[in-house]
Amino acid sequence: MRAYDIQGDTVTFTPEFLAVPEFNAVWKKDRTKGKGQAIKELSYVALLCDNTPFNPYGGYSEDVRESILIEDFIREEGWEPNERIKAAVEKLSGLLQTTSSRLLKSSKMAADKLGTYFETIDFTLLDDNGKPVYSARELASNLAAVGNIVKSLRVLEEQVRKEQLDDNVTRGGFEIGDFELPSEDIDYGE
């Protein structure tokens, strides 16, 4: 399910996304004409959950992404997701999950941990016998494997991208046009 599209500097949401009760609850809670708060909160939800290559925030690790999204979209000091937002996050995570996307998410998390390992390794650390804990041979072997890991991640990202593109095809095999995207002028269920 494609939840959102980015039009210029604005996140827009698909009608299918807004029809899901958890997302519609966030949308309906905002009674203002422009739906500014709902757009901020649903942008947070969509960009937090989306682990596809289409997400402009996808390059951030999950540990950091949430705080960056709060800073970029919510822009309220001390904001915490309420139960409605937490329910929307849980729902979207489940809806977007495929075997490939789950593997991609897990692989990216493991690659982030591997990066942290390389950043924090201490070559001066000695064992009880006074020998180095980490050998140059082990480091060289691990670094050689990193290239294969990166290549495998790219292949998996491409597979997930193809799955996402397949989900964005309409009846008759046509791509979704600009006029089929949701408009801010339309009431999606109030």
Q: Answer yes or no: is 185 within a domain.
A: no
Is residue 135 domain-resident?
A: yes
Q: How confident is the model at residue 167 (pLDDT cuts 50, 70, 90)?
A: low
The string of DSSP letters for 111-147 reads: HHHHHHHHHH--TT-B-TTS-BSS-HHHHHHHHHHHH
8 A C-beta contact, residue 35 and residue 27:
yes
pLDDT at position 178 over 70:
no
Residue 189 lies in a domain: no
Q: Domain of residue 23: give its range.
A: 4-180
- Once rounded to an integer, what is the mean pLDDT over residues 75-85? 94
Task: Confirm whether 188 is domain-assigned.
Answer: no
**Position 187 in a domain:** no
User: At a CB cut-off of 8 Å and minimum separation 6, what does 8 contact?
Assistant: none
pLDDT of residue 89: 95
Question: Residue 72 — very low, low, confident or very high, per pLDDT cuts 50/70/90?
Answer: very high
Is 50 exceeded by the pLDDT of residue 173?
no
Q: Please determine, for residue 26, whether its predicted confidence score (pLDDT) is greater than 90.
A: yes
Label residue 169 by pLDDT band (50, 70, 90): very low
pLDDT tens-place string over residues 88-145 = 999 998 888 888 878 888 888 888 888 888 888 888 888 999 888 888 888 888 888 8
pLDDT at 177: 53
pLDDT at 16 > cutoff 70: yes
Check residue 78 and give left, alpha or beta (phi > 0: left; psi -120 to 50: alpha): left
Residue 85 lies in a domain: yes
Q: What is the mean pLDDT of the chain?
A: 83
What would the mean pLDDT of 176-180 be, rounded to a whole number? Answer: 51
Phi, psi of 35 (to 5 degrees): 55, 35
Residue 190 inside a domain? The answer is no
Domain tally for the chain?
1
> What span, in angstroms and rounded, lies between the C-alpha atoms of 93 and 106?
13
